[in-house]
Amino acid sequence: MTKKLFIKTYGCQMNVYDSERMVEALGGAGYEEVKTPDEADMILLNTCHIREKAAEKVYSELGRFKHLKTEKPDLKIGVAGCVAQAEGAEIIARQPMVDLVVGPQSYHRLPELEAKAGQGAKALDTDFPEEDKFDHLAARPKAKRGPTAFLTVQEGCDKFCAFCVVPYTRGAEVSRPVDRIVTEARDLVERGVREITLLGQNVNAYHGAGPDGEAWSLARLIWALDKVDGLERIRFTTSHPNDMSDDLIAAHGECAKLMPYLHLPVQAGSDRILKRMNRSHTAESYIRLIERIRAARPDILISGDFIVGFPEETEDDFRDTLTLIEEVHYGTAYSFKYSARPGTPAAERATVPAEVADDRLQRLQALLTRQQRATQDAMVGRDVHVLFEREGRNPGQIVGKSEYLHAVHVTSDRIAKGDIHRVRIVESGANSLGGILAPS
């Protein structure tokens, strides 16, 4: 008898990929995915520990399922991902209705944990196992896919930024072998995928074993994927400035399938704060790096991450961040008010008053919003190539992404999902661009 699985995903693209693999892993145990928790025999929360009060939000979410557990005593409830790794057995202690807890490096063991929970025992696995989870996951099913997909190539981080829990929840940097990645990419393309985004907590630190026995860089991996017939677009995220190697910069200028979009977080523009963050780069070195990247690919759109209100940040430090933003000019960016992660070095430091951090975040986001809008407005009149992914809100409208990752909508009966068309941009909205099919 088929059992029903509801999985809710929090956080980054890697968690989206992990959730797909969890669904596949549990498929071997007789589960199929459903859209609502009410119809599920198992509810699984795949959690993220990056945002403020992440654990408390998970406990709050679990509380919403208490009535379902009461109505269906055989319902299994699990917590996976980074909060599971960080909290471990504490989750079961605080929420006894939870049946299983599994960390992000152990989800290939989900069928075993589900079987244990099915026998009435609590199942916990937050180890960093020696075996590679990808070796133990079942082959991906051959179902048709949408035109875009994520593909994890690297996990973990060795940078130990003072604010970040990733080294503690995801472990040390590990890279998957080249052959396995290329095989998975070919399989995705056979099922309809035309664009793949390579994922890693620090993806440009990739150093997977190549078929020649050497450790390959991310650039060499990209060139191997460039040879996959039917794969039209390649992206990668998230990167660290210290790992933007010469060959990766060159690939942005030379590999036609590598899209002109780069997410390269800097976090702050003050050298004093960057040092306190343990970022191991300076504002000047970051700016010079952006110049080299733009020299290789002049039209590249740069994206970034920023933290404001980091412990000990002064107004002068904050102004240095605004100055860096003005110099780089971001096409898009993500910004956050600092929130302490327990167990990280920064969590022990004196905090910036909340009202000061709030004010700085508003000022920083206003600048980033102006830059993002200026970037989008400058696209009007230009031709871009759009990979269409889904139907839009209006009749006959279809939506996709340009090479610059802008959402673009077009009204036409000549476009199908998965098509790539040259589109002339005719309008710029708050979060998307409108276009028409460009004359051939």
pLDDT digits (tens, 9 = 90+) for 339-352: 988 889 999 999 99
Q: Which pLDDT score is estimated for 52?
A: 59
- Band of pLDDT at residue 368, cut at 50, 70 and 90: very high
Extract the tokens encoding 283.
Answer: 């504002």
Nearest to 277 by CA among 244, 328, 322, 242: 242
| Percent of residues, the chain, with pLDDT higher than 90 | 71
Which residues sit in the known binding site for [4Fe-4S] cluster?
12, 48, 82, 157, 161, 164
Q: Which pLDDT score is estimated for 37?
A: 93
Which residues sit in the known binding site?
12, 48, 82, 157, 161, 164
Three-state SS for 263-302 is ECCCECCCHHHHHHHCCCCCHHHHHHHHHHHHHHCCCCEE
- Band of pLDDT at residue 50, cut at 50, 70 and 90: low
- Give the distance from CA 351 to its chain's centroid: 28
- Band of pLDDT at residue 427, cut at 50, 70 and 90: very high
Q: What is the mean pLDDT of residues 245-261?
A: 98
Contacting residues for 361 by C-beta, under 8 A, at least 6 apart: 308, 309, 335, 336, 337
State yes or no: pLDDT of 414 exceeds 90.
yes
Angle ∠(343,346,347) on CA atoms, nearest 5: 50
State yes or no: pLDDT of 128 exceeds 80.
no
Q: Where are the domains of the chain?
A: 3-125, 133-377, 383-437
Q: What is the mean pLDDT of residues 119-133?
A: 76
pLDDT in tens, 138-193: 665 666 789 999 999 999 899 999 999 888 888 889 999 999 999 999 999 999 99
Q: What is the mean pLDDT of residues 325-333?
A: 98
Q: What is the mean pLDDT of residues 20-46?
A: 91
Superfamily of domain 383-437: Nucleic acid-binding proteins (2.40.50.140)
pTM of the predicted model as reported, rounded to 2 decimal places: 0.84
CA 180 to CA 186: how far, in whole Å?
Answer: 10
> In this structure, which topology does domain 133-377 adopt according to CATH?
pyruvate-formate lyase- activating enzyme (3.80.30)
Tell me how crowded residue 192 is: count the other CB atoms within 10 A of its CB: 16
Of the two residues 388 and 48, the one the predictor is more confident about is 388
User: DSSP assignment, residue 131?
Assistant: S
Nearest to 207 by CA among 181, 175, 237, 230: 175
Q: Which pLDDT score is estimated for 10?
A: 87
Architecture of the structural domain at 3-125: 3-Layer(aba) Sandwich (3.40)
CA 90 to CA 101: how far, in whole Å?
Answer: 10
